[in-house]
A = this chain, B = another copy of it.
Amino acid sequence: MKKIKTAIVGATGFTGSELARILINHPVFEPAFITSESHSGKKFSDVHPQFFGLLDLHLVEAAELKNSGAELLFLALPHGISMDYVKSLSNTSAKIVDLSGDYRLSSPEVYNHWYTRKHIHPEGFKEAAYGLPELFSEQIKESKLVANPGCYPTSAILGLYPLVREGLVDLSNIIVDAKSGTTGAGVKSNPGTHYCQVNENFNAYGIAGHRHTIEIEEKLSMYAGQTIKLQFTPHLLPVDRGILSTIYAPIKDGVQSTARQVKEVFRAHYKSCPFIRMRETAPGIKEVRGTNFCDIFPTYDPRTGNFIVISAIDNLMKGAAGQAVHNANLMYGLKETTGLINVALKP
């Protein structure tokens, strides 16, 4: 197949280098342009030495993208900055996968509230598809702009969707207790990402106020027939990669279930989803490390009346770059798994 000239906008972060790591072996999307405002002129492999000899492209400023001929753009930029690029590209033919949070929510108003800033490109919300292929593949295929989901929401929504869709749970008391590796905190050096702070440590953060809460709630509410409010608590794990969400949802009054039945419900919903692996035992994050899989283990505790779902992803892959390439595969009519099948690096 003809190669598609692809740009990675924002080279220095972890999602930028992860996109490049995937594209190196992708048969169609060719990493032709990589941008960085702070490092333009340097080679990509100067910033990420693991690419030495494999991707030695010189970094360019984003302004040079204009006449680059890049057809597909992955925006690996912070929220609040990404929308500038999307807006300026909105009357070109380029297809965009935006990895920031700028177009994930239902409206500019909701965005303004949870991201405490004013969105400068409100018309983008109408065009943007929410890039969770297991739920929205039809919209993604038709869209020029895909809002790639947050890492935590990917893990939480996929762990709850079949239960909510089937009306099995009491929606008033869902708990998502999520734990993420440190790449989730970003590449920026600060006291919270210093090795000696993270190593041998573990803590909760963003209690009762993390932005990903609304993203999870909005998408699930679409299938619930009502507005869901749930409790989402993220934690920081002393590992590089991986999110494990432990999800608790009480069974709805009048519903009966067993551990076996709930597994069947999940299996039925995800039977044609190549990146969902319905596990028979609780997965660890290392079993998906470096892959685009979401491993799910659902069960039911008859003693307490709770559904418990464990959902494991690699936050940089299924939670970011891998899902972005999955979305681009859909946008270009490629096989969903193109360039994305590999075994976890374990150990």
B-facing residues in A81-112 (Cβ within 8 Å)? none
CB distance A281 to B49 under 8 Å? yes
Choose among B200, B205, B233 the residue that contacts A200 (Cβ–Cβ < 8 A): B200
What CA separation (Å) do A169 and B204 show in the bound complex? 22
- Interchain CA distance A55-B344 in the complex, whole Å: 12
Contact at A282–B25, with CB atoms within 8 Å? no
* Chain B residues closer than 8 Å to A289, beta-carbon distance: 50, 200, 345
Inter-chain contact A189/B194, CB cutoff 8 Å: yes
For this chain, the copies found in one complex come to 4
Indicate if A113 sits at the interface (CB-CB under 8 A). no
Shortest A332–chain B CB gap in Å is: 22
Residue ID in chain B nearest A284 by CB atoms: B203
Q: How far is the CA of A20 from the CA of B244 in the complex (A)?
A: 26
Known: A208-B308, A295-B52. A202 touches B341 (CB 8 A): no
Residue of B nearest to A20 (CB): B343
Give Cα distance in the complex from A136 to B248, angstroms. Answer: 32
A192 CB, nearest partner CB in chain B, Å: 9
User: 6 shortest A-B CB distances, which residue pairs?
Assistant: A203-B284, A196-B347, A208-B301, A50-B344, A201-B286, A240-B347
Could you jot down 21 A-B contacts, CB within 8 Å? A21-B345, A24-B341, A48-B346, A50-B344, A52-B295, A55-B343, A179-B202, A183-B347, A189-B193, A193-B194, A195-B198, A195-B199, A200-B242, A202-B237, A203-B244, A204-B310, A205-B282, A208-B303, A229-B304, A231-B304, A241-B347
Question: What is the interface of chain A, defined by CB distance below 8 A to chain B?
Answer: 14, 17, 20-21, 24-25, 48-55, 173, 175, 177, 179, 182-183, 187, 189-191, 193-205, 207-208, 229-231, 233, 235, 237-242, 244, 246, 248, 250, 277, 279, 281-290, 293, 295, 299, 301, 303-304, 306, 308, 310, 312, 316, 341-347
